Structure 1
């Protein structure tokens, strides 16, 4: 937890006991938060392997290995299937991973080098390019629900972020498992508070969610993701009611089609 806060990151690789060059898991703040909430567990001196989940559907186990001499195409294909991390390995020189490439790295690169996507009109709306097609219903929590209930919903649906809506269906904030301050400070008595009170008390990050409309351009969504350091942009209608979400995986699927 100290390393996450120190470097302002939300995940760290875990190396195998048997092979010091083999990464077996990438533990993130969601895993830590889940561990700390389980039965009120506050044993911060436990080895990190206590946090490692055996659930292979969790993103911690969805790791792709990429040859640093290969093209980006295989990594984009993996990232478009909801893999969030790629271990970059030089198989010709050193089998030990030299870097961890993330979905965020790809989106940041596109923001800096929009010319890299030759077949994609970044000024077209997200609705026009199909970013909202064939989406599952949006999972939300209400401002009246407790933080514990909200995290339980996220855990059950395997989501790392959910919008918090008010009685009118408008998004008032969002709950993200990637805020390290939530992990460090979470206590069962605080988790019993309504989610908005929980966030106001424990996080120093802005409570304002990043939103867009179906008519928003792809370029604006990408810029919003990078500027806000978020993984999700919530799509609202003309009445500002929550409708859908655009995730990093959604963006990379579009990038892959144009690459």
Structure 2
């Protein structure tokens, strides 16, 4: 955000130039070609991290596309119109709070306003969950039956190191990946994303796991295996006060789980995806907030059309 004073009126206005998320930050950390050398505790590694931590936050904007694409919603935008935006993979939007926005139609790229509030996919799902009785039959349907499962699930294995996992997140622009058991296939590269379907789920590595991580801890943890890192984070006092799910806790469901159960897990655990596993704990896919919003919107539109 930058502050600018209008010459004609002298009024100071806020201009939002972008948004920084944890994915932007981890992508920035992994954005050097020489990052392959970051497997030890060398002076070069420490110096490189120190240099990265000193840059202005504005220089991080744009490492992930969404940070450059700020969207606004008119305060009078309907829930269905909001869902139309969020089911396309947009995770958040700004809602201008001043009266000059009354004539803005639907969704558009952000313009200047005196103040904004942030509306996220999670906010929307919490609202819909609070009004569950009005959603009727859709919530009792299985996630498989309503097509809410995304079977394209990329994973890392239990030999992948933290810095390698960060690179994987950056490459695929993913906020989180499941950790699966490594196979006996000597051709499997633990430095790359792999197809997680049918593999044993043992953990989750998320960009937000690094939130609150002190610089000294970060330079120590980067060479560790991601699964080791998750174990350390779950017991570290640095993360003791964090709200939501413990990094060690697996939030998952089965294909026949009702949508209501999945939404409840999303809201209560404050996670942005639920892994879908079979009875043996093997990955089937995932249900993300985007998929949930999408199936709810289709259901609501069908009910309106039937009236």
* Short-chain TM bin: 0.7 to 0.9
Query: Which of 148, 159, 179 is the matching residue for 1:131?
Result: 148
Say if 1:234 and 1:246, in contact at 8 Å, map to a contact too.
Answer: yes
Residue in structure 2 matched with residue 112 of structure 1 by the alignment: 130
Mean CA deviation greater in 183-192 or 64-73: 183-192
In structure 1, how many angstroms separate the alpha carbons of the residues matched to 2:172 and 2:156? 12
TM-score (norm 2): 0.71
Structure 2 unpaired stretches of 5+? 6-12, 33-47, 102-112, 184-198, 240-245, 301-307
Residue in structure 1 matched with residue 171 of structure 2 by the alignment: 156
Residue in structure 2 matched with residue 26 of structure 1 by the alignment: 19
Bigger proportion of residues as helix = 2
Structure 1 unpaired stretches of 5+? 1-14
SS at structure 1 position matched to 2:263: helix
In structure 2, how many angstroms separate the alpha carbons of the residues matched to 1:61 and 1:212? 34
Residue in structure 2 matched with residue 144 of structure 1 by the alignment: 159
1:48 aligns to 2:57 (yes or no): yes
Displacement after TM superposition at 1:64 (Å): 2.0
User: Against the structure 1 CA distance between its residues 32 and 97, is the aligned structure 2 distance closer, same or farther, given a 3 Å change threshold?
Assistant: same
SS at structure 1 position matched to 2:296: helix
Say if 1:32 and 1:183, in contact at 8 Å, map to a contact too.
Answer: no
Query: Which of 181, 194, 206 is the matching residue for 2:247?
Result: 206
1:216 aligns to 2:257 (yes or no): yes
Displacement after TM superposition at 1:98 (Å): 2.6
Mean CA deviation greater in 24-33 or 207-216: 24-33
Say if 2:97 and 2:117, in contact at 8 Å, map to a contact too.
Answer: no
1:254 aligns to 2:295 (yes or no): yes
Displacement after TM superposition at 1:26 (Å): 1.5
Say if 1:75 and 1:86, in contact at 8 Å, map to a contact too.
Answer: no
Cα RMSD, aligned residues only: 2.3
Describe the superposition over 1:177-218 as per-residue Cα deviations: whole angstroms up to 9, x where unpaired: 123536545634421211111222235433122011100000
TM-score (norm 1): 0.83
Query: Which of 81, 99, 124 is the matching residue for 1:74?
Result: 81
Larger radius of gyration: 2
* Count of aligned pairs: 240
Residue in structure 2 matched with residue 178 of structure 1 by the alignment: 208
In structure 2, how many angstroms separate the alpha carbons of the residues matched to 1:184 and 1:116? 45
Alignment of 1:64-103 (within 5 A): 64-90=71-97, 92-93=99-100, 95-103=113-121
